[in-house]
Structure 1
Amino acid sequence: MVMPWSSPLCTMPSKSAFFSQPRVEATLQPPSSIQKRKRDESSDSEDDLAELFEPDPQPAWSVETPCVLRMMLQRRRVSTVRPEHHKVFTKLLEDPVVKKFLTWDKMLRVSDKYLLSMVIAYFSRAGLFSWQYRPIHFFLALYLANDMEEDNQAPKQDIFYFLYGKSYAQRPMFHKLRFQFIRSMGWRIWVSQEECEEIQAYDPELWVWTRDRTKLT
């Protein structure tokens, strides 16, 4: 009698056969080439992140003094003066009162070329339409330019003397209008020499740019 487990089809493997089979690892290890590629990709991504968060390189030069910083800021400034501001200024120069004043100020005490170029700069900052400017705005801007740039404040009184004579009645109103003019400019009343020269270069043949105080004999 042949026992069922003695049949070749039903032969049970021996215990030694179990131990002789290779053991399957629980975690499959990727080939070395895949590991290397992953390491390369990881390093590339780390480099990209490093470049993303790395601060911008510092320039080779360094600002050591406030004077140098001021010059750098001036070079980066973009002028807001537009052709219509030059046009309205040129038109006001033909006004009889303005023309008489410029003729009267022979020694250029309050109306040399730099102070006049500041008038154009103030016109560009005040935010008024071109048709709104009147001769009074010219004198307000010129007074403010002298107030900002001139160490000697006495010549400013020449503007009052020319406009009102010896009367003091209109001066408070003038100062009130001056305050409103400054406020309309957003309190931006400082004008650099570079901007003044840029304004003069727009129309270098304009006759008022010959009013150079340094050339007076």
Structure 2
Amino acid sequence: MVDLSRRIAAEALGTALLVATVVGSGIMANRLTHDTALALLGNTIPTSAILVVLITILGPISGAHFNPAVTLVFALRREVETNSAGAYVLAQVLGGIAGTFLAHAMFELPVLQLSQTVRTGNGQWVAEVVATFGLVLTILAGLRARPDSIPWLVGLYITAAYWFTASTSFANPAVAIARALSNTFAGIRPADLPGFIVAELLGAIVAMALAGWLLASPKSATSIMAQPPGLMRD
């Protein structure tokens, strides 16, 4: 296993580049067009593309979580130690914030900002539950069925979720926190963060619970017949 310091560095770097892409592409799209749908498309494609790249190159180092909701699921499944999970989350949050600052610097905007974009209400919260549920289920089912395809599965899922969810699929508490520090196309008002984060964590836990049942290995006929009579069930 790769040592913890390098895994933390990979999580911080990956989340920073992910957020820099989300925020930076949003700024670029907003500068190039006044068409909101076209700007959203200009935000979607780079985000999905960078996920494929980052998961491919950093996955072998840290698992490429880049997301506290994903790390929580793997910690609850006892696939990541508690101490490592805490370090991952801290690295993700700090990396995400650094990514926001980097995007601002590239586009010569004030580095320190607070978003004024209102994103709240039942529809937004339900959308974040759905977005994160789908993301986590995609990861868990993908690891079971086609582990080598995880980068593409996640990238394609996020492409779809940008457009079918009312929230444009944040699905990531670290990214949400980072985007609260950007008063740009990709921003979210800090006051709206708690609702998003709770919804994201809820979606992740529901996906984990469903996957645990849905993806469970079926018992073979041999193992069933091998059980003592007292354990057999009609």
Q: Per the shorter chain, which TM-score range?
A: under 0.3
Greater share of helix: 2
Query: Over alpha carbons, which structure has the higher Rg?
Result: 1
Q: Answer 1 or 2: higher relative contact order, Cα 8 Å, separation at least 6.
A: 2
TM-score, normalised via structure 2 length: 0.22
